[in-house]
Amino acid sequence: MDQEREQHRRTYQLCRLGFGMLSFALLVACATMILGLVGLFFRPGAILWIFRTRLWHWCDVPVVWGSLLGTYLLWGRWSDTGWQRRSGLLLLMCSCDAFLWFLEHGGELGLRLSEVGHEWLRMEIGQALGWAQFALIASLSCDLMAHLGVEQAPEAGKSTRSLAATGAVVWFFYFLEQTNWQAWPLRQRQLDSLESLLLFLGFNMISTITLIQVTALSVATTRQAGRMVAEMDHEDQENDLFRAPSETDFDLLSVQHAEPSSGREGSDYRGNNNDF
């Protein structure tokens, strides 16, 4: 029984660490997405200056690698078949993101990769993977929270997955409309129509909202897993026979020692009265 409890504790600890790394990566992605939308609509000077810095160029590092490491920690944590399939598929998608990241930054890292090209296609493949990753992270987060006793988790996961599916459909129409299918490699057309502009704004807004919801679910799952680990540690401390005595134990001992002494004083006092 103790071995099973320790196994559950390690599982919760690894889930807390995995979702914690995912939460960090998603928070960075939220910040970059919001800054990108602010720069797109308002174009303030400070945001445009950030876009030209090296920090902005490398801001995808914690997103890609944090997601990959966090997903790896979640993979195989539970024996449930559904968890294994979804976490394995998410790990495969994060590995594809890492491969695309190497193709983009390989030259700057000195890897001397040959010119791959297909920038538009690679960018849209990453976007397509992002919608599926949103749904998988939301599903895994809500499954663990439901296991930990959060009643609203299944409904929250369902709404987030529905929003991700809607955004994926809007993005797919945008991809079909914006791709120049007459040339190879595939290239992007100009936003020269109202339909293209509406599709572009639509899928970007849905992507931002979905990203915020998935981030909130991941952060909540991290907190719930940490709370479970803390409760298990507290229960083990309470059941530890060799723990140090607390202040209440000292108070109890002092009261127990005081009662016999007070009884003896009373008997002595009564004895003195009898002598008189």
User: Reduced to 3 states, what is the DSSP secondary structure of residue 109?
Assistant: coil
Distance, CA of 261 to CA of 38 (rounded, Å) = 77
**pLDDT at position 234:** 87
Provide the residue-wise pLDDT of the chain in tens; the chain has 276 residues: 578 888 989 999 999 999 999 999 999 999 999 999 998 888 888 888 999 999 898 999 999 999 999 999 999 899 899 999 999 999 999 999 999 999 888 878 877 665 777 889 999 999 999 999 999 999 999 999 999 999 999 999 999 999 999 999 999 999 999 999 988 889 998 888 898 999 999 999 999 999 999 999 999 999 999 999 999 988 888 776 555 555 444 444 444 444 444 444 444 434 444 443
Distance, CA of 30 to CA of 94 (rounded, Å) = 17
- Which positions ≥6 away from 133 have C-beta within 8 Å? 67, 90, 93, 94
**Are 100 and 94 in contact, with CB atoms under 8 Å apart?**
no
**pLDDT at position 14:** 95
**For the chain, how are helix, strand and coil distributed in percent, rounded to 5?**
80, 0, 20
- Number of DSSP helices (H) and strands (E) in the chain, helices first: 9, 2
Distance, CA of 174 to CA of 200 (rounded, Å) = 7
